Amino acid sequence: MAHISEEESDDDSHIGYEDWVKPELCAAIEGITRDEDFAVFGTRMNPVNPGLRVSGYGDIRIPLADEHFGPRPSFVVGPAQLLAHCENAWTCFGFQNPSGLAYINELQSQVARELGIRSGHCSKPTLLLCSQVSSTTLPSQSDDSIATMVFCLPSRHLGGEITFNSNGETKAFNTDQTSPFDLSYFAWYSDVNVKLAPVTSGRRLLLVCSVYKGHEVVGFQNASTIGASKKELQRVVTTWQRSLRSDQPCSTHFAYILDSVKGLELQVSGLDAIRVRNLHEICQKTGFRLLLASMERQVSGICEYDDDLCKYHTMEDELEWKVTLKCIVELDGTEVARDVTKRRPMKAVTAVEHTSGETR
């Protein structure tokens, strides 16, 4: 349920809502069938230690501490944005902990789903970086990957903001908030503009994984080829917003029934979770508020009892309906309201019968 942060009217006779807002919003939401984004960011608490070992250097202990590293600059080929403030960069490294390698592989699969990368592509760890404020190494970029995933392993640091830009849209992420003991990740498609600010304190340890096109995959995937469904949802919500602000007759709220939410727990999963995430992001940009609610709808009316079948027929004449929102919560579970009820009598219908040229 989304509503604009303005006073709402009890009048639901908005022609514009029934004519285009409701059907177009429903169609746009149902058009979201998977996550797709030009850049993503996330965190993982209590990550598995991969047991990193660099050939010719030794073990990389995690969490990373300043005394683990001395200035050993090395020249490698890789993404220039990542290597701009790099103190150490290695391509010859491995995982001593089998569980750590499985953990990294699982993370790659998760991030690929968030980006919307189609099945058939492959990804693998290609680079290990340690960045600090005094680093100056700036190798050139030479990489044929379609996307890049970066995992910031536990390493206490400050600064180092990552900024992504694609088709006029900008996203900015920070890795220093969870840096001491947790893992964060960011990923982007190859045609996205990326800027990494230097680390201002401490060191940041990054594991870079490159995504390559599979041999049997048809077509090329990048930021410009994804997100059509999300853009359509953005267009519909933005048009709805403009209608409200121009005082056109239009409802200020919209309800959509999710398939995966049962009872009062209000936990979404599967495809519903993907749709909620996409809609929430658009609502934040357009001034709408997205809430979850457990809804109960009751309809009263007239139906006949069948003595032969010993049961009631299907209700034909609906006289009134009542909707009760048993529990309304924010996406983080914070309760907003309970037992909000709205009743509405059905509109009267005038019958016109034509008999022998007369209308009565």
Residues 258 and 302 in one domain: yes
Question: What pLDDT was estimated at residue 248?
Answer: 66
Please provide the average confidence, as pLDDT, over all residues in the chain. 76
Query: Does residue 357 lie in a domain region?
Result: no
Residues 310 and 279 in one domain: yes
Q: Which residue has the higher pLDDT, 244 or 99?
A: 99
**Angstrom distances, CA of residue 185 to CA of 31, 108, 146, 358:** 28, 10, 17, 76
Q: Are 341 and 347 in contact (CB under 8 A)?
A: no
Identify residue 130 by its one-letter amino acid code.
C
Question: What pLDDT was estimated at residue 348?
Answer: 37
Question: What pLDDT was estimated at residue 66?
Answer: 57
Question: What pLDDT was estimated at residue 251?
Answer: 74
Residues 213 and 229 in one domain: no
Q: Degrees (nearest 5) of the Cα angle 198, 189, 138? A: 35
Residues 87 and 202 in one domain: yes
Question: What pLDDT was estimated at residue 12?
Answer: 42
Query: Does residue 240 lie in a domain region?
Result: yes
Q: Which residue has the higher pLDDT, 317 or 49?
A: 49
- Number of neighbours of residue 267 by Cβ within 10 angstroms: 12
Query: Does residue 58 lie in a domain region?
Result: yes
List the one residue out of 42, 38, 37, 60 whose CA is nearest residue 151: 42
Residues 319 and 181 in one domain: no
Q: Does the structure show a pLDDT above 80 at 151?
A: yes
**Distance (Å, rounded) from C-alpha 198 to C-alpha 88?**
14
CATH number of the domain encompassing residue 97: 2.60.120
Average pLDDT on 297-317 reads 73
Residues 206 and 309 in one domain: no
Residues 97 and 211 in one domain: yes
Query: Does residue 358 lie in a domain region?
Result: no
**Distance (Å, rounded) from C-alpha 307 to C-alpha 253?**
44
Overall number of domains in the chain: 2
**Distance (Å, rounded) from C-alpha 305 to C-alpha 319?**
17
Structural domain ending residue among the three candidates 223, 238, 253? 223
Q: Are 166 and 39 in contact (CB under 8 A)?
A: yes
Residues 160 and 231 in one domain: no
Residue identified by tokens 């190798």 is: 139
118 CB-contact burial (10 Å; exposed 0-12 / middle 13-18 / buried 19+): middle
Average pLDDT on 204-220 reads 77
Residues 153 and 240 in one domain: no
Residues 214 and 284 in one domain: no
Question: What pLDDT was estimated at residue 69?
Answer: 55
Identify residue 84 by its one-letter amino acid code.
A
Instruction: Give the range of the structural domain holding residue 198, as residue numbers without chain letter.
Output: 39-223
Tokens representing 267 are: 């936990």
Q: Label each residue of 110-158 as H, E or C.
A: HHHHHHCCCECEEEEEEEEEEECCCCCECCCCCCCCCEEEEEEECECEE
Structural domain ending residue among the three candidates 179, 198, 223? 223
pTM metric for this prediction: 0.61
Query: Does residue 350 lie in a domain region?
Result: no
Structural domain ending residue among the three candidates 223, 255, 276? 223
Q: Are 52 and 88 in contact (CB under 8 A)?
A: no
Query: Does residue 360 lie in a domain region?
Result: no
Tokens representing 187 are: 């990923």
Residues 8 and 56 in one domain: no
Helix extents (H) in the chain: 15-16, 22-30, 80-83, 98-115, 228-245, 270-286
Tokens representing 181 are: 């003991």
Beta-carbon contacts of residue 126 (< 8 Å; ≥ 6 apart): 78, 91, 208, 209, 210
Query: Does residue 355 lie in a domain region?
Result: no
Q: Does the structure show a pLDDT above 80 at 261?
A: no
Residues 43 and 155 in one domain: yes
What percent of the chain stands above pLDDT 90? 15
Query: Does residue 268 lie in a domain region?
Result: yes
Q: Are 245 and 237 in contact (CB under 8 A)?
A: no
